[in-house]
Amino acid sequence: MEKELKNDLYIRALLREETERTPAWMMRQAGRYLPEYRELRAKAGDFMSLCKNPELACEVTLQPLRRYPLDAAILFSDILTIPDALGLGLYFSAGEGPHFERPINSLSDINNLGILDPNDSLKYVTDAVETITRELKGEVPLIGFSGSPWTLATYMVEGKSSKQFTKIKQMMYREPDHLHKLLRNLALNVANYLNAQIEAGVRSVMIFDTWGGVLGHREYRTFSLEYMSLVISLLTREVNGQRIPVTVFTKGGGLWLSHIAESGADAVGVDWTVNLGTARKQVGNRVAIQGNVDPSILYGTPESIEQSVYLAVNDYGDGYSAQDLEFNRGHVFNLGHGIHQDVPVESPAIMLEALRKFTERK
């Protein structure tokens, strides 16, 4: 791990330290909205071929940094690498997203799941982290990530993307002990996986709870948040005297921000349905906040993009002057979810320029 970062704004913001401006990165910033990514993917043949080639994964990770003044890089990979390594047979169908050849259908399927050694079955990921870290040369921190245990379980039980989550909710209400067993296995695997990424050089990790928002209030705390808290409790939180911040993002989780703030995470991510000022009041000084403009603002005019950024940062800084030290403390600007594949490539630059304009202290 590099001892010094040339730009550590992202890390300082996650730790709620003073920053000269609000740092930013974009969920899915390395991906298909960029023509250079589409060209590389065509040469690679398919998505997983990119993910499993450390040199190509490095190239994809670095592509957005060449275009935009971002304050962090995020590992190019997929949230479903763990279930793939567990032997479920991940594949992607055009226009249909991820599928598994061997989904979880019974308790015996759960019992047959093991605990992975990430430096063996997921070595292509740790190799990619080492390659990216070397190529970044300390310019910005690298973010590692995993899907949450609940989110991974939804894909593993449903066998694919779902709108109704019928199979896993049947398990949840009919055989909750089976689901708890699956989630505990996944929590241990996720913790090992993230720790391997930390050991390989990432400077922060993020847990994507993409489908936590489909749960009821009690069920969210029992089947999602409890297991993310377990993951966090098992993580390496310091390397060479440097804190490794953890961010938890539950899409649709705005009602539970106060509970998420008690998970042990350093930061909570919020989607665009949440007012940043309200979110800040809910979590107080316990955690930083990441988010949260609607990714669709990037379809807008330069003026409307700038206005959306202005409103978001002022919501967060409600009650503070833009020159006040507390105005942007603890805020990482981001989209409320992943960038859309067909946005104009000029739009992110407009958004990031506006952010600097509105948050940089003179």
Whether residue 217 contacts residue 255, with contact meaning beta carbons closer than 8 Å, is answered with yes
* 29 annotated ligand-binding residue: yes
* 329 annotated ligand-binding residue: no
**Residues annotated as catalytic (active site), given as ranges:** 28, 32, 41, 78, 155
* 10 annotated ligand-binding residue: no
CA 224 from chain centre, in angstroms, equals: 16
**How distant, in Å, are the alpha carbons of 91, 93, 97, 190 from that of 100?**
6, 10, 10, 19
* 174 annotated ligand-binding residue: no
Whether residue 82 contacts residue 193, with contact meaning beta carbons closer than 8 Å, is answered with yes
Residue with tokens 């649709």: 252
Q: Quickly count: other Cβ atoms within 10 Å of residue 65's Cβ.
A: 19
* 193 annotated ligand-binding residue: no
* 196 annotated ligand-binding residue: no
Separation between Cα atoms, residue 314 and residue 184, nearest integer Å: 40
* 32 annotated ligand-binding residue: yes
Dihedral-angle region of residue 200 (phi above 0 means left; psi in -120 to 50 means alpha; beta otherwise): alpha
Q: Quickly count: other Cβ atoms within 10 Å of residue 331's Cβ.
A: 28
* 28 annotated ligand-binding residue: yes
The length of the chain is: 362
Find the helix packing angle between 302-316 and 347-359, rounded to 10°.
Answer: 40
* 280 annotated ligand-binding residue: no
Binding site, annotated residues: 28-32, 78, 155, 210, 337
Binding site, annotated residues for substrate: 28-32, 78, 155, 210, 337
